[in-house]
Each structure stands twice: as C-alpha cells, then as structure tokens.
Amino acid sequence: MKISTFASPQAIVEEGLTIKQRFVIVIDTLRATSVITAALSRGAKGVIPVMEIEEAVRLYQNLDNERTLLCGEREGNPIPGFHLGNSAMEYTPAAVAGKTLIMTTTNGTRAIHAAGQARALALGCLLNAAAVAAGARRSGLDVTILCAGTRGRFTLEDILTAGAIVERLGAPDAVMDDLSMLSHDLYLRHYGDLKGALRQCTHASYLAEAGYGQDIDYCMQADLLNAVPYYEKGLVMLER
C-alpha cells in the first residue's frame, strides 16, 4: 500500500489524476470531521457539506424543514439563526436522529470538495481512526490522507490524527511519503497524551480560550466510534 499525506487542501490541487485512483481520508479533527462522525453515529441520516452560509440557507429553504437542520460555524462559533454549531456536545441523539444536516464549516468542507474526484472519499478523525483505517484496507486501494488545516496552514491535531491512521493502516509495510512518515513518528511519540501534545497549538489554544475545552477532550479520544462517514455526490453518510 502507498500512503501520501497532505497538510492542506491547497496542496492537493496537482494530484487530481492520482486521487481518482485513491482512497482519500479527509481529516479535520478540530472539529468538522469529528462532529460529522459523532452526529452520524448518533443517528443523523446524512450530512450535506456546503461552503457558504447563503448556500446552506438556500438549500434549507428548499428541503423538508421537519427533517433538516442548519449546522456549522464561523471562526469556531455558532452561526446566528442556525440550529446547531460545531460542538459534538450539541449533536445528541435527540437532536439529530433521522435528520439530514446541512453543514457549513470553512476548512473541513473545503477539503472535502478538494478531494471530490477521489475513487472513495471517507472522513477521518481520532474518534474513528481504527474504523477508517479498516475501511481503507478493505478497499485495497492506495491511500491519500488530506488534512483540512486552517486556511492553508498546517495544524498539528490533523497531523497527529494522520499518524494515528497511518499506524492503524499497518505502517511498517507501507510505502510512505515524507509527511506520512513524520505524522506516524509524531503520533508514536505522543499517543500516550495526544491532548497534551496540542498544548501550544494555535487552533486548539484558540478553541480552548473560546470555551470549547470539553470539545477538545472529546475529539482527542482515539477509536471511540466505529463509524466511517463516506462522501458521495454531495452527501455524507455512514458506510452502507
């Protein structure tokens, strides 16, 4: 198996032809892919990821409002008038069961769209690291890990998650590029205290200061959920 890892969706632009043959795992650990994985495992029917708030609202107005929720964040905070923000704590079974979620988050959604041409496109986070790695192995395809980053920047929580997935893909036998190797090495150094490794990190510090410390605690737990969201034709759903 070949494994390539990219630090941001901007970096993957020239990989168009390659990713058509690949199992792509999009990671936005804090917090889009964690929230989507949690929401689907708590009974949400599907998630429609969109880039813009206006797009989310227009879509909502054209769907059955009984079964649809407007969700997402800007700068980490809830969007006025939306039903749910970007904290996994809000996505309780009571809130989401049977619902389709229209979700707008900046970096995560952009990464999903950047990888839209993939042969298979799954969403990964620490919560489902083992499950998504198992899905990739079953596919028999080479793997591309695409971190959402933050506006083109490298974010450590995504790289640690990439390393956790590389480990669960069976790293020693794989042919890896430099970032896959570095991610794996970093994960092995920090897996005993993944949250501690984020202490000085830009995005995690920002979220902690904004009052989302509990979210970080939740999202930094490895292998808590046995659920793999797949994106296909505009919709994210659990593996059938």
Bridge partners (DSSP) of residue 191 are none
Q: Which residue has the tokens 């292998």?
A: 223
**Cβ proximity of 129 and 223 under 8 Å:** yes
Q: Which is nearer to a copy of itself, 154 or 230 (CB)?
A: 154
> Is residue 186 near a copy of itself by the rule CB under 8 A?
yes
Give the CA radius of gyration of the chain.
16
Using DSSP, state whether 125 is helix, strand or coil: coil
Whether cis (ω within 30° of 0) applies to the bond prior to 31 is yes
Contact pattern from residue 2 through residue 41 relative to a copy of itself, giving x for each residue in contact according to CB under 8 A and a dash for the rest: --xxxxx-xxxxxx--------------------------
Alpha-carbon span 76 to 22, nearest angstrom? 31
When asked if residue 182 is in the footprint of a copy of itself (CB under 8 A), the reply is yes
> Do 29 and 158 touch, CB atoms closer than 8 A?
yes
* The only residue of 29, 100, 155, 161 in contact with a copy of itself, by rule CB under 8 A: 155
Closest distance to a copy of itself from the beta carbon of 100 (Å) = 31
Residues 66-95 that bind a copy of itself (CB under 8 A): none
Residue 151 touching a copy of itself (CB under 8 A):
yes
Q: Does 202 bind a copy of itself (CB under 8 A)?
A: yes
φ, ψ of residue 6 to 5 degrees: the values are: -120, 140
The answer to whether 229 and 37 have CB atoms below 8 angstroms apart is yes
For a copy of itself, the binding residue among 156, 165, 225, 236 (CB under 8 A) is: 156
Beta-carbon contacts of 214 under 8 Å, excluding residues fewer than 6 positions away, are 87, 89
8-state DSSP, 14: G
Among 62, 196, 200, 233, binds a copy of itself (CB under 8 A): 200
Q: How far is the CB of 122 from a copy of itself (least distance, A)?
A: 21
Distance CA 145, CA 179 (A): 10
**Which of these segments, 51-59, 67-75, 90-98, 200-208, binds a copy of itself (CB under 8 A)?**
200-208
Contact region for a copy of itself (CB under 8 A) — 52-60, 69-77, 195-203, 232-240? Answer: 195-203
By CB under 8 A, tell whether 106 contacts a copy of itself. Answer: no
Residues that bind a copy of itself (CB under 8 A): 4-8, 10-15, 149, 151-156, 159, 177-179, 181-182, 186, 200-203
